[in-house]
Amino acid sequence: WVAVNGRNTTSWHQRFDLDVFYVENLGPLLDAKILLKTVATVLSRKGIDPGFADQMPEFGAPPTTN
């Protein structure tokens, strides 16, 4: 779910929240929505921050401000 809702521009906290949402809402309709959003997200390159794309911050590291 996080891969189509922010990708690598999300913080670890946001990633965990999105993962919890996915687990709490499991089902074929959500999975179908993810598949459709995946195609749209990949084609649009939405959610990519070029300065951040090659490295996620270390888990537990304080957030960086740019």
pLDDT tens for each residue of 11-53? 888 889 999 999 999 999 999 999 998 888 778 776 565 655 4
Cα–Cα distances (Å) from 8 to 2, 14, 19, 28, 34, in that order, read 9, 11, 14, 25, 16
pLDDT at 65: 56
| Helix, strand or coil, per DSSP, at residue 31 | helix
Using CA atoms, how far apart are residues 10 and 66, in angstroms rounded to an integer?
14
pLDDT at 34: 92
Using CA atoms, how far apart are residues 55 and 39, in angstroms rounded to an integer?
23
The single-letter DSSP state of residue 28 is H
Whether the pLDDT of residue 6 is over 80: the answer is: no
**In the block, which residue shows the tokens 């809402």?**
25
pLDDT at 17: 92
Q: What is the pTM of this model?
A: 0.61
